[in-house]
Amino acid sequence: MTPIIQQDRTGCGIASVAGLAGVSYQEAKHATTSIGISIEDKALWSETTYVRSLLSYYGVKAQPLLWFYVAVE
């Protein structure tokens, strides 16, 4: 896998998907905007929904979301 350098403040997920999909950062960034995700959206920093959408765009399957509940006593 070729390393992809993040080029935007919120672009870590885009760079990760680009590496997994085998495309350039610019191609993944274009795909991001084409599916309605704003590069300025701070949810790209911590939410997985956008990254999962972009992975799906490229046909890369991600594990299903798992929710854990830990009881604190």
Q: What percent of the chain has pLDDT over 90?
A: 55
| Residue 18 vs residues 6, 29, 69: alpha-carbon distances, Å | 10, 9, 32
- Report the alpha-carbon distance of residue 31 to residue 14 in Å, rounded: 9
Q: Is the pLDDT of residue 46 over 80?
A: no
For residue 55, how many other CB atoms are within 10 A of its CB?
Answer: 18
Confidence of residue 18 (pLDDT cuts 50, 70, 90): very high
This prediction's pTM: 0.81
Q: Which tokens go with 23? A: 């495309």
- Report the alpha-carbon distance of residue 69 to residue 56 in Å, rounded: 27
